Amino acid sequence: MNKWYIEKGTEGDVVLSTRIRFARNLDDYPFPSKLDKKGKSEICALVRDALTGDGDSGFGYIDMNTLTPSQAVSLAERHLISPEFTTEREGRALLLTEDESVSIMVCEEDHIRLQVMKSGLSLNEAFDIADKIDNVLDSKLCYAFDERIGYLTQCPTNLGTAMRASVMLHLPALTATGKISGIASTVSKLGLTIRGAYGEGSSARGCIYQMSNRITLGITEQAALDNLSAITLQIAAQERAAQSLLLRNPAEEDKVFRAAGILKNARLLSGDEFMELISLVRMGTARGVFDFPLEKINELIVNMQPATINAAHGKNLEPSERDAIRAKGVREVLEIRC
Amino acid sequence: MNKWYIEKGTEGDVVLSTRIRFARNLDDYPFPSKLDKKGKSEICALVRDALTGDGDSGFGYIDMNTLTPSQAVSLAERHLISPEFTTEREGRALLLTEDESVSIMVCEEDHIRLQVMKSGLSLNEAFDIADKIDNVLDSKLCYAFDERIGYLTQCPTNLGTAMRASVMLHLPALTATGKISGIASTVSKLGLTIRGAYGEGSSARGCIYQMSNRITLGITEQAALDNLSAITLQIAAQERAAQSLLLRNPAEEDKVFRAAGILKNARLLSGDEFMELISLVRMGTARGVFDFPLEKINELIVNMQPATINAAHGKNLEPSERDAIRAKGVREVLEIRC
């Protein structure tokens, strides 16, 4: 089965992906930070049985403790789990569909972190899928819910809808022109946050940013989705215009072609250089400079992350070995026509 | 008719070309620096008639004064005339065969500077051609010749055979490993000089060096040629071994492939960057990393020099225009398979 990120999404030239995340907790248990090993195990079993008890649910169940560090970090690189979920794995579990579009972390910060990913800008579709799975869980488990506040969560910033909707944006031109900082401060006033691809504190490697709603209390899910969607469309339009303008500059156009030339020929590629160059090639592809499927570039960005390469090779590779494998992997995929 | 440098020469992976140059002066005239315009014109006519008087000699006659600066500098870039010959063009002429393998500067430092170029290492062949033309001139003109000393020349360092034999060497690996300076001092003790491609004081752009005999007095032409040939073969063997060793280093191999990638994709290429990258690609081609004819690379090195690009376009281009034309020209030629 193809992974979700292989598909071409709406507004896909700028919007890599959409993610909806619900935080849920069970009424009868303390929050995970106050739970012992036995309590966590009970919750893992409860959630697993609620989802998979009726036969083929489409979910696989992974006891996080059974994974190697590379396998765990690879899941985080693919945004299927949070980086925090990789470090402490005792008493934690992951439910995952085969196409990796739906993942449920059990006993992360909250008892349940349900997440749905879709290619491109697809907030309502992702929400509908999350909502359906949430209804199944709700019918079998007793959620911690307050009529006045909404869903109760360990961290007060998630109280209410307990929904975090986010889009992953590729903004090379707004980054190159320095406009991104102005945009970040504007969207902040509109209740949104822009940060690096791997969340709080992470840098925007390859000019990939994550924009998400900050407000969960006193707002409906639909209002939050509509707000995020409208602002995403505006930023995408700005990015497109900035890309077109940038590529009319011969020196910038040259950079894009050189990036393709290096990626198609290098024998060693560090992760940082790969992200820098693939970002330029992705921009060229988005604006029609190259005749190449964007989805293949998106897939490459996922597959060429360090732990994902390690996991694919079943061992912890030396950085120099990984640089050679990355360069080979990139050459095999990129047959850009220009 | 193909230019001489299109041909594949002996030892061509390291030796780009061979040049034999004879300096000759007429007995009845002062050296050029002491000649007025009328005297120079007389000599130009005498040399022209001596060579072309008997019908089709294969030589074209160019009054240097009729050339644009770009056309003149382009001749120097192709090593057909000396850089000095481009600056002061009054009363000077050039005789040139269509394949550009034989050129005769009239009223350069000496009355006659006869030069023969061949691809690869080809000292005896080039000497034979020069010798034949020299015999024709000798039979019609009265050379300044002293039985004891030999040919008389304006500069005392050329007295005797008045022959300068040189080879153009591509030595990227001996340059990269820093061995070139030791070699330069060794060959100096053996009566040879290594310097940049454009003679005294020029730098070795693209790791291209010119090695020539320094001694013209008290030595036969054949002894000078044999000495230069033997040392060239030794250096070529050293360079080959150094190249093979260098290319076994993954980081150096990576550089060679990246250079090819950039040259095949860049939209802007400065002359300096072009020389740096084509040098790496030439080394890769010489050692079989790329399946590509070396002659095409040699031709590119000639055709992508600044004044040669200007001359081909019939005008003085802005550097940025030229960088775009160079990048296009390189892309059209390089279809390296690897």
Ranges of CATH 3.30.590.10 domains, chain B: 4-242
Residue pair B85/B76 in contact by the 8 Å Cβ criterion: yes
Among chain B residues, CA nearest to A259: B262
Confidence band for B5, pLDDT divided at 50, 70 and 90: confident
Residues B125-145 pLDDT 10s: 999 999 999 999 999 999 999
Element (H, E) at A34: none
Mean pLDDT over the full length of chain A? 93
Cβ-count burial of A147 within 10 angstroms (0-12 exposed, 13-18 middle, 19+ buried)?
exposed
Torsion, Cα B23 B27 B29 B32, to 10 degrees, reads 10
Mean pLDDT computed over B306-332? 93
Among chain B residues, CA nearest to A260: B265
Scan for tokens 């160019």, then name that residue. B62
Class of domain A4-242: alpha beta
Mean pLDDT computed over A12-37? 95
Q: Give the span between the Cα atoms of B135 and A124, in whole angstroms.
A: 92
- Tokens representing residue B91 in the block: 């009363």
User: pLDDT at residue B6 above 80?
Assistant: no
Q: What confidence score (pLDDT) does residue B56 get?
A: 79
Residues B58-82 pLDDT 10s: 999 999 999 998 899 999 988 899 9
Q: What confidence score (pLDDT) does residue A100 get?
A: 93
Smallest CA–CA separation between B311 and chain A, in Å?
24
Percent of chain A residues past pLDDT 90, beyond the cut: 84
Those residues of chain A whose CB sits closer than 8 Å to some CB in chain B are 250-251, 253-254, 257-258, 260-268, 320, 324, 327, 338
Q: Do A338 and B265 touch (CB under 8 A)?
A: yes
- Tokens representing residue A60 in the block: 């696989």
Residues A77-89 pLDDT 10s: 888 999 999 988 8
- Among the residue ranges A3-17, A145-159, B90-104, the one predicted with the least confidence is A3-17
Residues B177-222 pLDDT 10s: 999 989 999 999 999 999 987 665 566 789 999 999 999 998 999 9
Among chain A residues, CA nearest to B268: A254
Scan for tokens 């090779």, then name that residue. A313
CA distances from B178 to B172, B183, B201, B207, B311 (A): 10, 10, 19, 12, 36
Across the A:B interface, residue pairs with CB atoms under 8 Å apart total 52
Question: Which residues on neighbouring strands pair with residue B154, listed in sequence order?
Answer: none
Residues A106-137 pLDDT 10s: 999 999 999 999 999 999 999 999 999 999 99
Q: Can you spell out the DSSP letters for B65-78?
A: GGS-HHHHHHHHHT
Residues A231-260 pLDDT 10s: 999 999 999 999 999 999 999 999 999 999
Q: Give the span between the Cα atoms of B335 and B292, in whole angstroms.
A: 8
Q: Which residues of chain B lie closer than 8 angstroms to A260, CB-CB? A: 265
Residue A196 has a CB neighbour count (10 Å cut-off) of 15
User: pLDDT at residue A201 above 70?
Assistant: no
Collapsed DSSP state (helix, strand, coil) of residue A60: strand
User: pLDDT at residue B98 above 70?
Assistant: yes
User: pLDDT at residue B7 above 90?
Assistant: no
Q: What confidence score (pLDDT) does residue A260 get?
A: 97
Q: What confidence score (pLDDT) does residue A157 get?
A: 92
Task: Identify which of B263, B264, B324 has the shortest CB distance to residue A250.
Answer: B324
Q: Which residues of chain B lie closer than 8 angstroms to A289, CB-CB? A: none
Q: What confidence score (pLDDT) does residue A8 get?
A: 78
Collapsed DSSP state (helix, strand, coil) of residue A46: helix
DSSP 8-class letter at B337: B
Element (H, E) at B119: strand B112-119
The model's pTM:
0.88
Report, in angstroms and rounded to the nearest whole number, the Rg of chain B calculated over CA atoms: 20
CB contact set of B150 (below 8 Å; sequence gap of 6+) = B159, B160, B161, B162, B216, B217
Q: Which residues of chain A lie closer than 8 angstroms to B257, CB-CB? A: 265-267
User: pLDDT at residue A63 above 80?
Assistant: yes
Task: Identify which of B257, B263, B324 has the shortest CB distance to residue A267.
Answer: B257
Residues B26-51 pLDDT 10s: 999 999 999 999 999 999 999 999 99
Q: Do A254 and B262 touch (CB under 8 A)?
A: no
In 3D space, the residue among A179, A241, A233, A232 whose CA is nearest the CA of residue A207 turns out to be A179
Q: In this structure, which amino acid lies at residue B194? A: I
Q: Give the span between the Cα atoms of A73 and A67, in whole angstroms.
A: 10
Q: What confidence score (pLDDT) does residue A200 get?
A: 57
Q: What confidence score (pLDDT) does residue A202 get?
A: 62
